[in-house]
Amino acid sequence: MADIVAPAARPANTHFSSGPCSKRPGWSLEALADAPLGRSHRAKVGKTKLKQAIDLTREILNVPADYRIGIVPASDTGAVEMALWSLLGERGVDMLAWESFGAGWVTDVVKQLKLQDVRKFEAAYGELPDLSAVDFDRDVVFTWNGTTSGVRVPNADFIPADRKGLTICDATSAAFAQNLDFAKLDVVTFSWQKVLGGEGGHGMLILSPRAVARLESYTPAWPLPKIFRMTKGGKLIEGIFTGETINTPSMLCVEDYIDALLWAKSIGGLEGLMARADANAKVIADFVAANDWIANLARDPATASNTSVCLTIVDKDVLALDADAQAAFAKGIVNLLDKQDVAYDIGAYRDAPSGLRIWAGATIETADMEALMPWLAWAYQTQKATLSKAAA
């Protein structure tokens, strides 16, 4: 082990967590000095800030003018739950799941809403289900990018333009890094703390005119709590989508989101954001191609995420171990990098196969990703030497 030399260069930013994610380059608390702290979010200054956040979201994501955008409680989870509880039940639903969050939405629909006409399309970590088997005359719920598997849909070509059902898309680790085709999406949700590195606790809910029509024409059979209600007297509560939030938002978090959006605009908007994420993901892909001990969990490169990149250890000696020992090997790599203050929070998600998960989104500098790769090799070699010593 003494012969394994640690790399000389270190990432300047060591925050590679997949949520909450790294702040934008150059971020500081001083950037939030204009936050109207201690003021009502219903005062003119508060409403102006909330409207600015909505307008910048529309501009950068290229959201169509007739789609509503709302800031809602409880992060992406709250936004998805609002959609599920408010919209489903009018017709049958096809649920797509290929990682833990998609599986969670299946559980909510089957066990909590107790819908009877539900079809499940599930796939193992690393794969997508058969998208061609989905019936879009039914409602369809899916994640665009599986945060815990690193597998995404490559595009929206599998969704027909003349669908009769609604498409409800959890896009929390895709928005601002992947090109969402809003013409094919009726509900889009995400949170601030993913690609733009905002603070947690607030969700975004984007509704197409078709989704609004469903809200105004259909009343679910179950009661809705206040924070889920988007209609009154059979009409959409338009204020929710102009900055009149259902409950009290953190104006400090709102200011932070605006700061991230303005940064995104300064680097070229969506195209600039996607280019940065793609460049970071390529660094990891090139490293994987050059090292036979590690592989991308996504089996098809066309479905590999450019944000939550999930990696698995495929060293034959490690694969010969039992599952617990394999997990311990991967965790050892994570712990070594943490102790060296090189990379934090890059272990695989708790429900996913053991391995690594490295955030490659736009707030990561490519130079930092490049600096991390030799450290991955060092940590692997160190762990392998420990394994060999134990087997001797």
CATH of the domain at 219: 3.40.640.10
As to burial, measured by CB atoms within 10 angstroms (0-12 exposed, 13-18 middle, 19+ buried), residue 22 is buried
Residue ranges in 251-312 assigned as alpha helix (H): 251-266, 269-290
Which pLDDT belongs to residue 392? 72
Give the model confidence (pLDDT) of 226-259 as tens digits.
Answer: 999 999 999 999 999 999 999 999 999 999 999 9
Residue 211 is part of which domain span? 29-265
| Residue 95 token pair | 């649920």
pLDDT tens digits, the chain, 392 residues: what are they?
457 999 999 999 999 999 999 999 999 999 999 999 999 999 999 999 999 999 999 999 999 999 999 999 999 999 999 999 999 999 999 999 999 999 999 999 999 999 999 999 999 999 999 999 999 999 999 999 999 999 999 999 999 999 999 999 999 999 999 999 999 999 999 999 999 999 999 999 999 999 999 999 999 999 999 999 999 999 999 999 999 999 999 999 999 999 999 999 999 999 999 999 999 999 999 999 999 999 999 999 999 999 999 999 999 999 999 999 999 999 999 999 999 999 999 999 999 999 999 999 999 999 999 999 999 999 999 999 999 888 87
In 153-232, DSSP assigns E strands to 167-170, 187-191, 202-207, 231-232
Res 1: pLDDT:
44
The answer to whether position 67 is within a domain reads yes
Residues 301 and 209 in one domain: no
* pLDDT of the residue at 2: 56
Q: Residues of 94-128 as b/e, b for ≥16 C-beta within 10 angstroms? A: bbbbbbbbbbbbbebbeeebebeebeebebebbbb
Task: Round to whole Å and give the CA distance between 252 and 258.
Answer: 10
**Residue 230 included in any domain:** yes
Residues 220 and 107 in one domain: yes
Structural domain count, the chain: 2
Q: Is the peptide bond before 20 cis (omega within 30 degrees of 0)?
A: yes
Last residue of a domain, one of 233, 265, 297: 265
pLDDT digits (tens, 9 = 90+) for 65-101: 999 999 999 999 999 999 999 999 999 999 999 999 9
pLDDT score at 28: 97
| 8 Å CB contact between 86 and 230 | yes
Determine how many CB atoms are found less than 10 A away from the CB of residue 377. Answer: 16
CATH number at residue 277: 3.90.1150.10
265, 284, 302 - which closes a domain: 265
260 and 274 assigned to the same domain: no
Domain check: are 242 and 339 in the same one?
no
pTM comes to 0.97
Mark which of 265, 290, 310 sits at the end of a domain. Answer: 265
**pLDDT score, position 389:** 86
| Claim to verify: residue 261 and residue 278 sit in the same structural domain | no
Is 371 domain-assigned?
yes
